[in-house]
Every structure is written in structure tokens, then in C-alpha cells.
Structure 1
Amino acid sequence: MLIYTIGIGLCLLINSCQKETQDKERENFDYSLLTQSSELQLSGKYEALIRLNIKYLKKAGKMKYEAGKGLCYLNMAGVNVSAGNYEKAHFFFNKAEKDLGNSGNAYHKAAFYDDYGQYYSHLKLYDKAIDCNNKAFQYLKEAKKTELSTKLLPRLYVNKGIYYAWKGWFGTSLKSFTKGNMLENSAYTNCMVAQYYLFVHQPDSAGIYIARADEKMLSQKTSDVESLWVYFTMGYYYNEVNKNEEAEKALKKALEINIKTRRTYSSHIKEVYKALAELYKKKNNGGKAYFYLKKYMEEEGRFDTARFIAMNKATEDFISETKKESDWHKNDLPLFIAMSITVLTLSGVYVRKIIGRQKMKKKSLKEETDKLKSHVHTRQLKEVIELAKRNDSSFLLKFRELFPEFISALLKINPDLENSELTFCAMLKLRFSSKEIADYTFVQHRSVQQKKYRIRKRLNIAGETDIYEFFENIK
């Protein structure tokens, strides 16, 4: 009996040791995979990130560790969200959910719902994002306290602050940002508190946290992506308080970092373009303002397209799953049809609403773009007129940049026109009088009249046609 009891005890002890060894091995797997993946994603090393997750996917297979596979899929979903590839992200979230759903580790589910919340936030579905964030908090409370769970907690608070800010619940938002910053106190979390104060138009309060974020960025190890966001926030803040030079310097720094991180975090850069457009508009530099506004519109358009594809894909998946689960009995058919119609109707209403908002936004941006284009043209026209008045040798070159088709149209009429004749035609296009042309080119008034006569002959302009009207009609 004693031997039997000892034998059972030894078996239990061996099983316990094996379980502890397996748990430790899986903990090490999680920590190594998630830490390395985060570092590679935040530094923009896309190829290395893919290789790492393929390696760990194989390792998880050998370990028979389903949740380990799920974490690899979750990493791939996260990087695709950050890059704006929402359709691919949706695919990987589905795979991650299957492998993490049965995990006994509550941290896995907390991490899944945190990333899923960020996905919905990118799609501007803030209610769904908040729901996922609440689930992430719930699972994290149940999770064993580890270095990974300690790191995740402040980020959950920061993400909660973002979602509630967009919903307009500013009290809850500020409490969440403040709590996250209190727990982490990094360049990024200080920056996010500053972002909140800029969002609610309190630049004085934002300035305090901008200074702290800058100090933390210098004293702590800060990833490239988080540095990009800090520099963007600094630029935004300096722009608000009319420190244009500091704003330009910070935003240009953010653009530099984007070159390294655009493969894994391209979603941030459109805000930098928008801030630069606003800055140059304020500095009365219409050319650069128009350039960056155009870049912002291109990025925003790309993300809008990706959002619509993702929403349509989610709707299709829902209908497909409902179809699979239905046995297609006679009694089930009306229910399935009703559900499908409901889903399609709600999706249609929602998409129309989003499209309406985007149309308004694009109309506003187009008006601003047209205004900037007009401003740029006016400024360039003044510059060209000044060059003509000074009889500057670069006049014709700058004129061609402003009216690219004009010279080509003249050369089509007469390919033998000389540069001096083209310059004279350009001055007539600008509606300079004969006296003005004589004064600016240091010739007699009679010489200008003779030149006009020669130009009429060279371009076959009828005698009864007003020469200024002729050139005005050449675009």
C-alpha cells in the first residue's frame, strides 16, 4: 500500500514538473515572440518581422502550442492594421481568434481584443473598438501578472482614451490617458496626453506634456514609430502656438523617420502631411501647402478605399458563416433571408452614411486645394511679372513653367520663332502695353510697334484681330 501511494505521488510529481516545464517553455515563447515582433514592427523592419513570425509559427507547431500559432497570426494582423491593409488584417484576426479562443491564458485574449479594438478604431467603428477594449481589460484582470501583462495595461488605458476622445466623452478620455501615463510615463504616453489637450484646444496644458515627452525621448529608449508620433505632436503644438520654425523642424523630422517605418506604420504619415499643409498655408507658401495637402488627400483616399473593402469583406463573411450554420430546412430559410436582408440593409445604410461624410470632407478639401492652387498661380504670376519688369534673362523660363502650353501652341503655328520673339509674345500675353515693353526692354516705342507688326505676320494674325485678345485665347 505504501509503495502504491509513493508511486502515485511520484507520477503526480512528474506530471506537475512536466506541466511547470511546459508552462515555462510557453511563457518564454510568448515573451520572446511578442517582444521581438514589437521591436521589429516599431522600427519598420517588415521583412525581418515576417521571417521571425514564420520561424515561431513552425516552432509552435513542433511544440503543439496552438495559442503560439495564434500569437503569430495576431502579430501579422497588427502589422497589417498599422500599414492600412485592413482586408489582410481581417484574415489574420480570424485565424488568430480560432487558435487563441481556447487558450487557458487570459493574457492571450486580452492581447487579441486590444489589437482587434485598434482594428475597429482604424475603421472608425468606435463603439466596436470600445467593446473590444472592455473585453481586453476584463481578460487582463484574470491574467497572471507578468512583464507582458504589465506592459499591456497602460496601453489599454491609452487606447481607451483615444476611442472615447473620438466619441466625444472627454472626461473618460482624459482619465484614461492620465492613468496610462501614470503607469508607463514614457515619451509616447506623455505625447498622447498632449494630443488630448491639443484635440480639445488647450495648447498651454499640451505644452507641459510636450516638454515631458521630449525629455523622455532623450533619456529613454524610444522606438522609431513612437518618436515619429512625438515629433508630429511637437510640430502640431508649435504650429498651434505660432512657432513656425520649430513646427517645420519637428514635422520634417517625423517625415525622415517615416522613410524607415512606412512599411509597418504608414497610417501615421497622413496626419504629418496635413499638419505640414496647414503650416505652409500659415507661412503663405502656397506651393508647399498645396503639395502636402495633395499628399494628405492621396493617403486619406487610400485608407478610405481600404476601409470600405474591409467592411464589405466583414459583411460577406457574416453572411457566409450564417449560410454554413443553417441546415437549410424549410423553417430556417425565412430566418436566414431575414437576417441576410437585415445585415445588408444595415451595412448599406452605414456605408452610405460614411460615403456621405467622405464626400463632404473631400468637397471641403477640394475647395481648399483649389484655393491653394489659385494662390500659388497668383504668386507665381507676380514673380514672372517682376522678372519681366527687370528684363531678367530667366523671365521666359519662369513664364514657360507658369503657362506650359502657351509656347508650344505658338511653335505649332510657326516653329521658326526665335527666343526674343517668344519673350515678346509672353509680354503681350501678360498684357503689357507698348510703352511698358519699351521701358522694360530699353528700346524705343516705335521699335515695339514694329515688333508687333512682325509678330502679326509671323503668326498670321489678321489685321482686324486685337493682338492682346489673340494671345489671351491661347491657353
Structure 2
Amino acid sequence: MKKLLLLSILILFAFKGIAVDHQKHEVDSLLNKTRELFNTGQLLPYIETAIKALNLSNETNYDEGKAKAHSWIAEGLVTVGLFKEGLKHLESVEKTDFYRKGILAQSEVHRVRGRAYGELRLYQQAIREFRLQLGLIKNLTGEKQKKSYQFTYENLSIVFDAISQLDSVEKYNQLLLNNLKGEDEKKEVFRYLVVYDNLGKLYVKKNDFLKAQQYLDKALALVEKYKIPVVLNTYSSLGTLEEKKGNLRQAADFYERSLANKRAIGSRNGMKNSYRELADFYRRTKVDKAKADQYNMAFSRLNDSLESENRQVVDQVLSQILKLKDEESNTKVSKSVTIAMAALALLLAAIAFFVWRHKHNRKILDEKEEALQETETINKELTEQIGENKFNNLIELAKSNNPEFLILFTELYPEFIQALKTLDPNLRSTELEFCAMAFLNFSTKNISEYTFVTIRAVQVRKNRLRKKFDIPSDADFNNWMRELAGTPTMPLQSED
């Protein structure tokens, strides 16, 4: 009887091993499909497919699959603006052996985290992540190293452009150009086009019209040589160049050609930007007020439509994320279980043995169920405790000047952040953090201590914000911040 049971168990494990291998292959196929969807811009199907790959990887405990799926999901969430959820998935990547052993996986986590920080206007933190990525890339080889350098230089160029450090923008675009040396021009034509456009735009800003013209002419030459349908920013940059030279007719022509190209390729976001660009141009130069009004109206309509669509995409993505969390908290019936159940038919010969063991197994099962209930109770208590501690965590993040402070604050007090952005949509992240500390009723001395600046510097910043928000001189600064979101005053935060 025991030999028969042993034989049955060996057969069962053999079938289970085959099932696991099949599921790993299915995960790899899903991840390949995810990459294809990302490259073609199909954002929602891309995230949904990555979540399927993650669920299947969790079922089989496929470490590489979990790491890659979490990484792809994070990329998608950052792209749609769900930064907090995206950063959480990056933390999950860092828990895998695949991440700890793989330089490319580590490099990608820094890249996506840098993107998230850049979108949150935490520019110094973004630069730090991209530079950490550069330190890892030097240990890669071949095509992986070359492409990683390309992405990192592009990202650094974007961040430095956002903070108007034009010399650094020039440096990283020149590195991009050097990185392309020796590459097949036709194969890498879009990368060449991006660099030429970037350098042309940069030299327009620097008022070096000769160099700007040279690089933008190179971009146009590529467009004509390879019949490229997507002209990116070349026409727009040429329009800016001609406008700065005072050639308004030529500038208008280039701006209009930019819009026409975006219409031809069906780029609605590009069309929106061109409408705004043309409206600003005609209003700024006073060339044609009617056209300024026409393009401004077209911009408003398309912008409203795109924002509505984007909200729908975000809602759908959030729905998928919630579904993922539900599936992670419940036991799923996987394909491997189905195959294993089929293999159990082989155990029919040992029915007598299992009957004999029934009472013993029932006792063990009851003990496991009791332990599971205790675990669920403990998990529930821990979850409640975590919720209660969020505010304390927020205070500690503020005291340590941690960049995660603003992210957690936005989660806890979204109405306050929205109220500030309604008053001034262009508020910097440092200003938002300062107002958040005032909202939490930190004293001037506290803010000075936690942000490592003098008390005088804190007072100067308060005065600037009073002017920006038109706060009366006799109004308490911290109370005004609390009342902005309809929140009652709170006791002054202690220094300990």
C-alpha cells in the first residue's frame, strides 16, 4: 500500500512540474506581448496584460516573472500619473532575487523611479536616480548598455531642461549624439531626429541662431531622406527660430506645418500642443486676433476631450489595480491545480489508505484552519494599526526632510493640495512642501530645523507666499493654510 502511495505521489509531482513549466512559458509570452503593446502605445491593454503576467507569476512563485511584471506595471502607472502606486510596484521589484542579481533590472528601477520623481517635480531626486542608473550601466555590455545610456541621457536632458540648466541639456544631448556614432543611420533615424531637434531647440533658447539652424536643417534632411511621416518638434522649433529672428510669416508657416503634420499622423496630444502654440503666437505677435481666438477655442475643446479620456483610462487602470489586490488576498484556482486534480485519479488505488488516514488528516486540517483564522485576525489588526500610524509616519517624514513626505501628504490631504494648485497651478514642489508643513502647524523654528535653513529664510519664504496668495498681514499663516481646505486649526506640532 505504501509503495503504491509513493508511486502515485511521484507521478503527481511530475505532472505538477510540467504544469509549472507550462505556466512559466505562458508568463514569458504575456511579458513579450506587454512589451509589444507598450511600443504601440496601447496603454490600458498593456497594463492589463502585465497584471495577468504578475498573477500567473505569483501562482507559480516565478521570481523573474514577478520582477518583470511589477516593473512593467510600474512603468504604466507612472505614465498615466499614478505615481504612488507605481513606486509601490518598484518596491516589489526590489524584493525579488532577479532584481538583486541583475544589473539591468536595478538600472530599470532607477530609470522608472527617476521618471516618477521628475513628473512630481522632485527634480533633484530624479537627477539622483538617473545618475545612480549611470553608475550601473557602465557594468553592462553591448546593445543593452548602449540603449540604457540612450534612455538615461534623454531623461537627464529633459530634467535639466525643466530647471533651465541649458549647459547640462547641451552636455547630455552631445553625449546622446556621441552614443549614436557608428550606428546605422536608417535604423536609428528617430533617435538622430530627436537629438537634432533637441539641440536645435536648445540653441534657439540660447539665441545661437546659426547652430540652431544647422541642427534643425539636419533634422529636416533626415525627414526628407527617409520620408519620415512623424516630424516630431522640428517644424515647431523652426517656427520659434523664425519668430525670434523677426520673420513672422515664416514662423506662422512652420507652426501651421507642425499642426498639419500632427493631424496627418493622428496625434491628438500633438494637435492640442500645436493649437496652444498657434494661439499664443497669434496673440503674442498681434498678427491675427481672429486666428488666435480660433486656435484657443480648438485647444480648449480638444484639451477637455483628452482630459476626459485620460480620466477614464485612469479609472480603468485603478479598477485593474484594485482587482489585482483582491486576487492577491484570495486563493486562486490555478491551472496547475486543475492538472494536479486530474493526476489525483491515479491515487484511486490508494483510497483505502486515505480512508485510514482520514481522521488524522481532518485533525491537521482543522488545526491549519484555526491557525489561518488567527493569522487573518492578526493581519486585520496590523492593517488597522498601519492606518492609525500614517499620520505619525507623515510627521517623521517631515522631520527627516524625506522626499516621500509630499507623496504621503498628498495621499492624506488631497483637497488641500488641490486647493493650492487651483490658486497657482505652477507651484513648485518645494513650495507645496512648505505649505504642507504650515498646514500641519509646524512652527517657524520647526520648519527651519527640519529643512536645514535659517529661521530668517523661513520667514522670508512665508512673506513671499503671503504675497503670492494675498494672505492678509494680520492673518495667522498656518491657520490660513488650514482654512484653505476647510480644516479646523490644530495644536502646534512639538519639536520632539
1:288 corresponds, among 262, 274, 291, to 291
In structure 2, the residue matched to 1:176 is 172
Aligned amino acid, residue 287 of structure 1: A
Other structure's SS at 2:425 match: helix
Alignment of 1:181-260 (within 5 A): 181-184=177-180, 186-219=192-225, 227-241=231-245, 242=247, 243-256=250-263, 259-260=266-267
1:136 corresponds, among 133, 141, 147, to 133
Aligned amino acid, residue 117 of structure 2: Y
In structure 1, the residue matched to 2:103 is 106
In structure 1, the residue matched to 2:279 is 277
> For 2:148 and 2:298, how far apart are their aligned partners in 1?
34
Change (3 A) 1:107 1:55: same
In structure 1, the residue matched to 2:39 is 39
TM-score of the superposed pair, with normalisation by structure 2: 0.49
Alignment of 1:344-355 (within 5 A): none
Post-superposition shift, 1:160?
0.9
Post-superposition shift, 1:273?
2.9
Residues 169-200 of structure 1 deviation map (CA, whole Å, 9 limit, x = unaligned) = 32222111111122136111221222222333
> For 2:48 and 2:264, how far apart are their aligned partners in 1?
23
In structure 2, the residue matched to 1:154 is 150
In structure 2, the residue matched to 1:452 is none
Alignment of 1:305-320 (within 5 A): none
In structure 1, the residue matched to 2:113 is 116
Greater Rg over alpha carbons, structure: 1
> For 2:129 and 2:63, how far apart are their aligned partners in 1?
22
Aligned amino acid, residue 91 of structure 1: E
Change (3 A) 1:244 1:233: closer
Aligned amino acid, residue 163 of structure 1: V
> For 2:209 and 2:59, how far apart are their aligned partners in 1?
54
Aligned amino acid, residue 164 of structure 1: F
Other structure's SS at 1:228 match: coil
Residues 3-39 of structure 1 deviation map (CA, whole Å, 9 limit, x = unaligned) = xxxxxxxxxxxxxxxxxxxxxx99x979956762453
Post-superposition shift, 1:146?
4.3
Aligned amino acid, residue 140 of structure 1: I
Post-superposition shift, 1:357?
4.4
Instruction: Indicate conservation of the 8 Å contact 1:116/1:129, yes or no.
Output: yes
Matched, 1:339 2:380: no
Change (3 A) 1:96 1:198: same
Residues 238-258 of structure 1 deviation map (CA, whole Å, 9 limit, x = unaligned) = 444431353134321343157
Post-superposition shift, 1:358?
2.7
> For 1:337 and 1:346, how far apart are their aligned partners in 2?
7
Change (3 A) 1:119 1:217: farther
Residues 118-154 of structure 1 deviation map (CA, whole Å, 9 limit, x = unaligned) = 2322332212221221122122223x32434321212
> For 1:161 and 1:333, how far apart are their aligned partners in 2?
36
> For 1:64 and 1:222, how far apart are their aligned partners in 2?
45
Change (3 A) 1:99 1:334: closer
In structure 1, the residue matched to 2:18 is none
Aligned amino acid, residue 195 of structure 2: T
Aligned amino acid, residue 277 of structure 2: A
> For 1:65 and 1:51, how far apart are their aligned partners in 2?
19
> For 2:252 and 2:418, how far apart are their aligned partners in 1?
41
Instruction: Indicate conservation of the 8 Å contact 2:31/2:50, yes or no.
Output: no
Change (3 A) 1:210 1:89: same
In structure 2, the residue matched to 1:358 is 425
Choose 352-361 or 230-239, whichever is displaced more.
352-361
Choose 212-221 or 242-251, whichever is displaced more.
212-221
In structure 1, the residue matched to 2:490 is none
Choose 67-76 or 181-190, whichever is displaced more.
67-76
Q: How many equivalent pairs are there?
A: 308
Post-superposition shift, 1:50?
4.8
Change (3 A) 1:275 1:71: farther
Instruction: Indicate conservation of the 8 Å contact 2:197/2:234, yes or no.
Output: yes
Gaps of 5+ in 1: 1-24, 314-322, 362-475
TM-score of the superposed pair, with normalisation by structure 1: 0.51
> For 1:162 and 1:359, how far apart are their aligned partners in 2?
18
Post-superposition shift, 1:278?
2.7
In structure 1, the residue matched to 2:159 is 163
In structure 2, the residue matched to 1:12 is none
Choose 190-199 or 338-347, whichever is displaced more.
338-347
Instruction: Indicate conservation of the 8 Å contact 1:158/1:176, yes or no.
Output: yes
> For 1:53 and 1:197, how far apart are their aligned partners in 2?
41
